[in-house]
């Protein structure tokens, strides 16, 4: 943010205590994120309060780009990153979604954003192997990615090396273009903190059973289906384990991701609601069964 555009601080005329004034601005910013660029121009103190929120979420892909990332110039077909600006606000960024961006650009962005804990990398242009050491240095907790961009030996049934350090602290993992072979995903069982897993692609009952049996700390397992009212194939509906949740294909992926980054309902939260509903139903069925059993004297 260019400080020249911010009104100079003048003697305070507000009768509100500073703490209350700050709380009002922060509530306004969290309730209406699109207002933040204008709110930070009110006064320097407001800019200081709201600047972390302005830059907390980064998104570049189909649709809008937030916050401003590029200079407006081009190098070939690629936009030119505004590295000076990125280095100034990068420490505030906590959530990043990058879609259809060159892998070299992604490396520059991630090097400037050392505090990212929620990262989505979709349809990347170029190999991402060089990004692995950068990702290992980030405090990642949530990751959405397609492993085929990261591992050069990614063959049909070869195991994805989830034993690498970059995955050790992941709690929420969304895998794109999943296939049914458990041999490919078996190292998911080695992720010590994985509690939430989503597989986007082809899933069958054998894979579901293996995931539930081997991933001991799993609390929620989400899969997606398209065009019908149920997953189809050999998948059991309903599932015996309430941790397994089937959700319809998401429309507007980038907007959906941003909604979740802002703390509103995304597929993880919806999945938790579905799980709790299934658990309540199971509890009711068990209680009804017990009440209907004959009493032995």
What gap in Å lies between CA 60 and CA 105, rounded to an integer?
A: 11
Quickly tell me which residue has 């990642």 as its tokens.
Answer: 140
- 43-68 pLDDT tens trace: 889 888 888 888 899 999 887 898 88
Q: How many domains does the chain have?
A: 2
Residue 116 lies inside a defined structural domain of this protein = yes
Is residue 292 in a domain? no
Last residue of a domain, which of 54, 73, 93? 54
- The token duo for 59 is 């998104």
Same domain, 45 and 176: no
Query: 137 and 161, same structural domain?
Result: yes
Q: For residue 246, give the 3-state DSSP assignment.
A: strand
- Which of the two residues, 35 and 243, has the higher pLDDT score? 243
Q: Is residue 296 part of a domain?
A: no
Which backbone phi and psi does 258 adopt, to 5 degrees? -65, -40
For residue 104, is pLDDT > 80?
yes
What the block records as the tokens of 10 is 């003048």
So what's the pLDDT on residue 292?
Answer: 46
pLDDT at 291 over 50: no
pLDDT computed for residue 288 by the predictor: 45
In this structure, the answer to whether residues 112 and 235 fall within a common structural domain is: yes
| Domain assignment of residue 295, yes or no | no
Residues 29 and 100 in one domain: no
State pTM to two decimals. Answer: 0.84
CB 139 within 8 A of CB 117: yes
For range 4-28, the mean pLDDT: 73
Per the document, the length of the chain is: 297
Residue 171 sits in the same domain as residue 209: yes
What distance in Å separates the CA atoms of residue 223 and residue 267, rounded to the nearest whole number?
10
Domain presence at residue 293: no
Residues 20 and 65 reside in one and the same domain? no
Same domain, residue pair 163 and 47: no
**Cα–Cα distance for residue pair 262/254, rounded to 1 Å:** 13
Pair 39, 165 in one domain: no
297 within domain boundaries: no
Tell me: do 102 and 46 sit in the same domain: no
30: domain range?
A: 1-54
């Amino acid at each position: 943010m260019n400080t020249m555009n911010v009104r100079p601080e003048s003697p305070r005329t507000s009768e509100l205590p500073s703490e209350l004034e700050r709380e009002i601005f922060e509530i306004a910013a969290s309730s209406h994120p699109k207002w933040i660029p204008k709110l930070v121009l009110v006064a320097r103190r407001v800019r200081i309060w709201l600047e972390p929120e302005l830059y907390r979420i980064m998104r570049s892909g189909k649709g809008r780009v937030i916050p401003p990332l590029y200079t407006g110039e081009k190098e070939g077909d690629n936009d030119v990153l505004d590295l000076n600006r990125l280095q100034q606000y990068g420490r505030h960024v906590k959530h990043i979604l990058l879609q259809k961006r060159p892998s070299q650009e992604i490396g520059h962005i991630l090097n400037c954003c050392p505090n990212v804990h929620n990262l989505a990398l979709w349809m990347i242009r170029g190999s991402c192997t060089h990004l692995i050491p950068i990702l290992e240095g980030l405090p990642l907790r949530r990751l959405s990615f397609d492993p085929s961009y990261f591992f050069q030996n990614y063959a049909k049934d070869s195991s994805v090396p989830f034993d690498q350090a970059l995955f050790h602290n992941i709690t929420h993992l969304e895998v794109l273009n999943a296939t049914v072979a458990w041999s490919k995903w078996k190292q998911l069982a080695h992720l010590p903190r994985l509690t939430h897993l989503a597989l986007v692609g082809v899933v069958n009952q054998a894979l579901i059973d293996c995931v539930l049996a081997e991933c001991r700390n799993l609390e929620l397992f989400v899969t997606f289906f398209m065009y019908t009212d149920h997953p189809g194939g050999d998948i059991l509906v309903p599932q015996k384990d309430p941790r397994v949740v089937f959700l319809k294909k998401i429309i507007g992926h980038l907007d959906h991701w941003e909604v979740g980054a802002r703390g509103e309902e995304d597929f993880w939260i919806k999945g938790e609601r579905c799980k709790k509903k299934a658990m309540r139903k199971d509890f009711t069925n068990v209680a009804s069964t017990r009440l209907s059993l004959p009493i032995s004297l």
